[in-house]
Each structure stands twice: as C-alpha cells, then as structure tokens.
Amino acid sequence: MATVPLKDELDIVIPTIRNLDFLEMWRPFFEQYHLIIVQDGDPSKTIKVPDGFDYDLYNRNDINKILGPRASCISFKDSACRCFGYMVSKKKYIFTIDDDCFVAKDPSGKDINALEQHIKNLLCPSTPYFFNTLYDPFRDGADFVRGYPFSLREGVSTAVSHGLWLNIPDYDAPTQLVKPLERNTRYVDTVLTIPKGTLFPMCGMNLAFDRDLIGPAMYFGLMGDGQPIGRYDDMWAGWCCKVICDHLGLGIKTGLPYIYHSKASNPFVNLKKEYNGIFWQEEIIPFFQQMNLSKESTTVQKCYVEMAKQVNEKLGKIDPYFVKLSDAMITWIEAWDELNPPTKDSDKATNAASK
C-alpha cells in the first residue's frame, strides 16, 4: 500500500451544519487522516459521519466548555467557526474544506487528490521576492528561468497553500446576481507564489497551511450571528496572514489543487451578509497595504497583537464593529496560547522563519 503523506502530521478541518455524506467521495483521499468537525448552529442536532473515519466533533457547547468566556471570539452561525478547529488541533498542518466541495477531475478525467497537491505546495519553498515566469520552479518540468537571481533561488518556507474551484466560482453577491449561470470550467495547471507586498482574496473552502508557521494568524474574525458582516471571514484571515508572512519572510502559494464546488449560495442572502463589507473593504484593503509591523514583532502572535491594535486605532473610526473585532483578535491569541503553550521548538521555527 502506498505511503500516506504527513498522515500523523495533518488534520482536516470541516465546518458543517449537516450530515457529512460528501465524505464518501473523499474516502480514498481522507480516510487515513484525522478529521476535526466543527458543528455550527444548533448543538442538539446530531451530525452523521460515514463509518470508517477517525474524527473529533465539536459543537457550540464544546467550544463554550473548552474556551469559557473566550468562546466569544468564535463566530456562531457562520463557517468562520472552523478556526476553532485550527486552535484545538495538535498537528503541524491543517487542510480545511467545505461540505459542498466535491472531488474534481483533471482534463484527463482523473480524480484530483486535492490534499496531496496541497501537501506538495506546502513542502516546497515559495519565491515571493522575484517572480518566476515559469511559475512554480519547484514543480516537475519547471525551473528558474534565465535572469532569476541565484541568491534568491533557495526560496522561503511556504506557510499557506490556497486552492481553487471548478464549477461554481467564489464570487461576491453583486457578481453572482449579474452572472447567475457562470461556471468555471477552466483548469489551469499552475501554482504561483503571491509576490511580497501583494494582497489577495483568500477563500477558506479549499485551503491548507502550516500551523506552526502561521496558525495564530488564521483567525476568521467575528462573523454571522449578531455581527454586521458575513462572508469576509476567510478574506480577513488572508489579509492578516499575507501581511504577517511578508513581515516574517514566509510564502503563500495559489493555484492547484482544484475542487468541484457543487452548490451556489443564495445571492440575496449573500448580499445582506456582504453589504457592509463591500463598502468597508475600500478602506480595509489600503489599511493592510500600508501596514508596517515593528521589528519587535518577531513571532506570529506578536505580529497579530500589534495588528489588532492598529485595527482598533485606524479601522475603529469606520465602525464600532472594528473595535469589537480588535478585542476579539486579542482574545483569540490568548485562547490560542492557552491551548498551545509555546515550546522551544515553536520558538526556533518562528525565529528561523523571521531570519
């Protein structure tokens, strides 16, 4: 039997409100791994998981019990609750996927093992300081092109692997409304490092990351029940992660692998959730583009706390929500550190990354 890459070093995190029948199609790829299922919504509802999977399931009662008063930083009635799974994991790597994401096929008709490709992305260096026109130089059949500086060819550690979707694209509500029938059928066989200083809209439905390198920054914010915004959870985490990766000298890749996104969400419901964000993002994005983190911020936690203070000072002027979000960001770090006390090894990893 083929060896299973990172079998004991990776958790699969799935947020859900329904029975996880979709796991049947992922069985050949997921069965050997440990799953962390974060049940959103009514905790008295029973979620059925197909036989044969090794998993832990956490509902809202569990979150409240484990985090106590700090549970306020975990969103309710929103897939942002998935980040609780990142916090309770004890593994080095996380792959997270939505329950409406199915196995995609490559152009030859073969099933795509999304997890295997994410692992390849994470285990190969990134090249954020100079763009390689043949894309990822570490893939088979590619290399650094003529003119690529030899001093930069070692690359840097990859913290995040951001995968894409066939069928239903990840559009915002206005785009959904004007293009209701649009489907993504283009399979582009490419992995790119996102250059230093460039932000991107991170989607959380097909995403993997190195928890040791960037985990504490993967907070999906305050969304959903009782909040004035939704559907910005993954993007908020992406902006925070990208600024911190740039500061600490880490890389983020995007492109392969693809999953098949099976279900379009309701654009009118989405518009209600996104309405404030569509306005706010015009100020949030320049805020992140102009952000400078101090030399004293040498760990992800220190970066994130410094970032939270800037959110309070600068974005708090837009809406009181950002003051609340800033407090939640600090609560998240406190909860993370309580469940994941720093070890000498994790300090070494962070210091190595920041050199």
| CB-based contacts of 57, cutoff 8 Å, min separation 6 | 37, 39, 47, 49
Query: Do the beta carbons of residue 10 and residue 48 sit within 8 Å?
Result: no
Indicate whether 35 pLDDT > 90: yes
E strand intervals along 59-125: 93-97, 101-102
CB 137 within 8 A of CB 54: no
Residue 100, SS3 per DSSP: coil
Q: Which amino acid is at 195?
A: P
Whether the predicted pLDDT of 209 surpasses 60: yes
- Token readout for 203 is 């989607």
Between the alpha carbon of residue 195 and those of residues 16, 70, 134, 239, 244, the distances in Å are: 33, 35, 14, 13, 13
Q: Is residue 233 a contact partner of residue 79, using CB atoms and an 8 Å limit?
A: yes
Check residue 346 and give its pLDDT.
Answer: 53
The model's confidence at residue 344, banded by pLDDT at 50, 70 and 90, is low
pLDDT of 350 above 60 = no
Q: What percentage of the chain carries pLDDT values higher than 70?
A: 96
Identify how many contiguous H helices and E strands the chain contains and give both numbers: 11, 9
DSSP assignment of 291-351, as one string? ----TT--SHHHHHHHHHHHIIIIITTT-THHHHHHHHHHHHHHHHHHHS---HHHHHHHH
Give the tokens for residue 188. Answer: 């582009």
Residue 315, pLDDT above cutoff 90 = yes
Question: pTM of the predicted model, to two decimals?
Answer: 0.96
Task: Spell 214-231 as b/e; 16+ CB within 10 A means b.
Answer: bbbbbbbbbbbeebebbb
Q: How far apart are CA 106 and CA 316, in angstroms?
A: 45
pLDDT at residue 351, rounded to an integer: 54
Compute the mean pLDDT over every residue in the chain, rounded to the nearest whole number.
96
Give 152-183 pLDDT, tens digit per residue.
Answer: 999 999 999 999 999 999 999 999 999 999 99
- Reported as a single tens digit per residue, the pLDDT across 5-32 is 999 999 999 999 999 999 999 999 999 9
Nearby residues of 240 by Cβ (< 8 Å), 6 or more positions away = 217, 219, 288, 304, 307
d(CA 281, CA 286): 8
Query: For residue 50, what are the contacts with CB-CB under 8 A and spacing of at least 6?
Result: 20, 21, 23, 24, 27
Name 260's bridge partners: 102, 166
Give 105's DSSP letter.
B
**Residue 343's pLDDT band (cuts 50, 70, 90):** confident
Query: 24-63: buried (b, 16+ CB within 10 Å) or exposed (e) per residue?
Result: eebeebbebbbbbbbbbbeeeeebebeeebebebbbbebb
Sign of the four-CA dihedral 98, 322, 59, 83: positive
Of the chain, the percentage scoring pLDDT greater than 90 comes to 95
Using 50, 70 and 90 to split pLDDT, how confident is the model at 248?
A: very high
Residue that is written with structure tokens 């036989």 in the block: 51
- pLDDT tens figures, 63-103: 999 999 999 999 999 999 999 999 999 999 999 999 999 99
